[in-house]
């Protein structure tokens, strides 16, 4: 997944003051976040120290560079991994009064354990400022420039610019971004004067597909009854997806419960003339061995069933969707929210078409089947209904994926699906100790 721009603060004009402190509001959102602050100090800087916080949390200085390597002002970058979401205050403090110019840029999709790399600085005197930052495709480069006589334009995507004063060598500041590549040139046009510039690479998060642990299904999808149950074993933090349905809209499922888990109904369909279809999600906070998961059917005379899938090493749940059609092969578009997620799919066919030669739709080069273990449910009852369930273990890049079955066609189907998020948290690697005599 690539790093994505989130927000700029406080605005495209940044902010500035002659003072020992400077503050503004920045709003962070999304997941796998990073906040980068650009700061310029104009004044005699031989003993100046600046610090930055966000929401009162200290930020890390990536480094600073003095305009033309002199002592008349400098530019500095600060960063904070996993900044608090929502609107919070960026606060700059300085041990002496001077021209303070600042602004901020936040990103999502950032590696949380090693968020930045390739810090690069440059300085000079003239009508242009530039440097090149080592980077990678999917990463993003962010910089800041400070000069003595005004920034006129940026060669990248300019986030904010404040030409505050021509009194000192670094009291005019801008901050820009550019998409990652092997090496990313960053440049500005300035009015001829001293300048300093610093840039760094924002490293993209890597996402590992969730780990499928187990699945448990009711003994049959073609039997009746008011209550059915399955036995489940979990660990703390496991993610559960439960899907199910019944032969028609009268088979209304409810009361899913077990191990104290709060289940969220992501999607359901009980349209008249179709089968019923449901998908729930939940996170286990206690874990347990062979605990009982139960579900109820509002019409005990209707055939029905449900299946519970357990995943581990997942950030949670993402997108969900549903659809129906009076004729065709089950097809549903699901726009995922995180790279390398899994997707769980359930479909019911009211016409009970024979699905013995069924073909699941291929996503990211993989087709669920009994053979590869990705199909978890197939049940049919002539004159009643047919139920299909499977999961895609890794749907690849973020985007719209088409899930369901390409055969058999001529079904009267409803279909539900939910995304089980991948994880950006590095997983422990098993270590093998070799004893050498």
Q: Are 218 and 303 in contact (CB under 8 A)?
A: no
Summarised one tens digit per residue, pLDDT across range 82-139 is 999 999 999 999 999 999 999 999 999 999 999 999 999 999 999 999 999 999 999 9
Pairing type for strands 86-108 and 151-154 reads: unpaired
- Looking up tokens 């499977």 gives 390
Instruction: Give the other-Cβ count within 10 Å of 110's Cβ.
Output: 30
Strands 15-28 and 60-66: unpaired
Q: Which residue has the tokens 């990678």?
A: 136
Cα Rg for the chain, rounded, in angstroms? 28
- What is the predicted pLDDT for the residue at 1? 66
pTM: 0.74
**Residue bearing tokens 């003051």:** 17
pLDDT in tens, 170-201: 999 999 999 999 999 999 999 999 999 999 99
The token pair at 230 is 């399955």
CA distance 25 to 193: 31
Find, among 45, 46, 53, 47, the residue nearest to 21 by Cα.
53
Which of 321, 226, 224 is CA-nearest to residue 266? 321
For the chain, what is the mean pLDDT?
95
Q: Cα separations (Å) of 387 from 47, 278, 351, 378?
A: 73, 12, 11, 6
Give the DSSP letter string of 155-208.
SSEEEEEEE--SSSTT-EEEEEEEE--SEEEEEEEEEEEEEEEEEEEEPBP--B
d(CA 275, CA 385): 7
151/153 Cα distance (integer angstroms) = 6
- DSSP class of residue 315? -
pLDDT of residue 435: 33
In the chain (437 residues long), the average pLDDT of successive 10-residue segments reads 93 98 97 96 94 98 98 98 98 97 97 96 98 97 98 97 97 98 97 98 95 97 98 98 97 98 98 98 98 96 97 97 98 95 98 97 98 98 95 95 98 98 67 33
């Amino acid at each position: 997944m690539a790093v994505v721009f989130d927000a700029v603060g406080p605005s495209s004009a940044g902010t500035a003051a002659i003072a020992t402190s400077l503050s503004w509001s920045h709003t962070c959102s999304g997941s796998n976040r990073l906040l980068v602050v650009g700061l310029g100090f104009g004044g005699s800087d031989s003993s100046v120290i600046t610090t930055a916080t966000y929401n009162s949390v200290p930020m890390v200085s990536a480094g600073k560079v003095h305009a033309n390597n002199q002592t008349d002002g400098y530019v500095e970058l600060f960063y904070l991994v996993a900044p608090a979401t929502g609107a919070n205050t960026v606060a700059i403090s300085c041990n002496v009064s001077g021209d303070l110019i600042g602004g901020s840029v936040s990103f999502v999709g950032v590696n949380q354990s090693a968020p930045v790399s390739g810090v690069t600085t440059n300085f000079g005197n003239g009508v242009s400022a530039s440097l090149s930052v080592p980077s990678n495709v999917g990463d993003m480069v962010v910089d800041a420039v400070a000069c003595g006589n005004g920034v006129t334009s940026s060669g990248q995507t300019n986030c904010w610019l404040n030409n505050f004063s021509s009194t000192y060598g670094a009291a005019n500041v801008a901050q820009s971004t550019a998409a990652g590549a092997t090496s990313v040139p960053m440049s500005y046009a300035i009015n001829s004067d001293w300048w300093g510039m610093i840039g760094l690479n924002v490293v993209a998060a890597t996402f590992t597909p969730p780990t499928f642990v187990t699945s448990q299904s009711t003994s049959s999808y073609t039997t009746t009854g008011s209550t059915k149950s399955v036995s489940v074993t979990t660990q703390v933090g496991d993610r559960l997806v439960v899907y199910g349905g019944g032969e028609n809209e009268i088979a209304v499922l409810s009361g899913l419960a077990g191990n104290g888990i709060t289940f969220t109904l992501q999607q359901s369909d009980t349209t008249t003339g179709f089968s019923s279809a449901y998908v729930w999600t939940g996170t286990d906070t206690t874990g347990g061995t062979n605990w009982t998961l139960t579900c109820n059917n509002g019409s005990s005379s209707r055939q029905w069933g449900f299946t519970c899938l357990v995943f581990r090493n997942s950030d949670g749940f993402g997108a969900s969707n549903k659809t129906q059609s009076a004729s065709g092969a089950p097809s549903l578009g699901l726009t995922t929210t995180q790279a390398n997620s899994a997707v769980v799919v359930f479909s019911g066919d009211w016409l009970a078409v024979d699905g013995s030669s069924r073909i699941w739709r291929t996503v990211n080069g993989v087709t669920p089947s009994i053979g590869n273990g990705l199909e978890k449910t197939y049940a049919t009852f002539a004159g009643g209904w047919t139920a299909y369930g499977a999961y895609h273990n890794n749907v690849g890049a973020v985007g719209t994926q088409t899930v369901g079955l390409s055969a058999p066609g001529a079904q009267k189907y409803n279909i539900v699906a939910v995304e089980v998020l991948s994880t950006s948290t590095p997983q422990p690697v098993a270590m093998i100790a070799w004893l050498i005599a």
